Amino acid sequence: MEIDEVLVTRKIVERYTEEFLENIDVDVVIAGAGPSSLTAARYLAQAGLRVVIFERKLTPGGGMWGGGMTFPIIVVQEGSKHLLEEIDVRLRDAKDGYYTADSVEASAKLIAAAVTAGARLYNTMTVEDVMIREDRICGVVINSSAVEVAGLHVDPLSIRAKYVIDGTGHPAEIAHVVVRKVGRLNTPTGKIEGEKSMWADRAEQMTVENTSEIYNNLYVTGMASNAVMGAPRMGPIFGGMLLSGKKVADMIIAREKKGKKKRK
C-alpha cells in the first residue's frame, strides 16, 4: 500500500469535523479531565447521556499520573476501591484499610473507560467562559489551549449543554468565571470560599459532601468542590475524588429521569 500524505490529512480532518459537529450540542460538558471528571463521564455516558470533556493539557488524567511527588503510586480506601476495580485497575492491599495502585495504570484505564463508555474527550482545549440564559448555565465557550498559551487574539467557539461540570481541580476555573459574571454562587458567602491546607481525613469526606450544584445547571466535582466550598486538600489519596465523580453523575442522571417523568 502506497501512503498518500494528503489522504492522511483528509482522513484526519474528515473524522475530526464529523465528530466535532456531533458534540457541539450535548447533555453534559465537563471542564477538566481529572479522575473525578473521568469517573463522572463514564457513568453519565453509560446512562445514555451525550458527554463531552474539554481538557486544557495534552494529557488527560489530572494530577493522578504523578502519584505522590512523582512516585507513581496512589492510595484509595476500602469504600472507594470498587470504582477502580470496575475498570480492572490492579489494587494491592496495603493493610489498615488502604489500597495502592499504579498511578499510570489507573489514569490510563480511567481515560479509556470514559471514552469506551461513549464520552468524547478533547484535549488541548480550554473552557474560557460560559453561556448563561435566564439565570442558568446553558453551555461553555472554548478555545485552543495553544491560542491561550500564545496570547493570541482569536475568538472562541461555543458548545451548548444542559449541564456543565467544573472539574478543573484546585483552581475551580469555571466557578471563578461564573461568580465574576453573576455575582453569587450557592456557597455560604455566595463567593468562592477558597481551598484550605492539607487535612486528608477531612478533605476526603468533604470532597464528596461538597459535590453539588453551585449555580443553576453548574455542578462542581473533585478538588474543585473543596476549593469552592472552603475545605482542605488531601494529597495523593484519590478515593474521595472517585466518589465525587460518581456522585455528580448520579445527581445529573436522577435529574434527567425526573425531567423525563414530568414531560410524560
Give the Cα separation of 52 and 25 in Å (integer).
10
- H runs (alpha helix) in 23-152: 35-46, 82-85, 103-117, 145-150
- CB within 8 Å of 93: residues ≥ 6 apart: 99
Beta pairing partners, 75: 100, 237
Residue 16, Cβ density class (10 Å: 0-12 exposed, 13-18 middle, ≥19 buried): exposed
Reported confidence tier of residue 116, pLDDT bands at 50, 70, 90: very high
pLDDT at 58: 96
Residue 206, Cβ density class (10 Å: 0-12 exposed, 13-18 middle, ≥19 buried): buried
Nearest to 249 by CA among 117, 90, 157: 117
Whether the per-residue pLDDT at 262 is higher than 90: the answer is: no
pLDDT tens string 74-110: 999 999 999 999 999 999 999 999 999 999 999 999 9
**Inter-residue contact 41 to 152 (CB < 8 Å):** no
Residue ranges per domain, the chain?
A: 25-259
Q: What is the mean pLDDT of residues 155-167?
A: 98
Q: What is the DSSP letter of 172?
A: -
Q: What is the mean pLDDT of residues 18-38?
A: 98
Whether the per-residue pLDDT at 64 is higher than 80: the answer is: yes
Mean pLDDT of the chain: 97
pLDDT tens string 211-224: 999 999 999 999 99
Q: What is the CATH topology of the domain spanning 25-259?
A: FAD/NAD(P)-binding domain (3.50.50)
Mapped onto helix, strand or coil, the DSSP state of residue 75 is: strand
pLDDT at 260: 75
pLDDT at 264: 64
pLDDT at 258: 87
- In Å, what is the CA distance from 116 to each residue of 42, 46, 68, 121? 8, 9, 28, 11
pLDDT at 163: 98
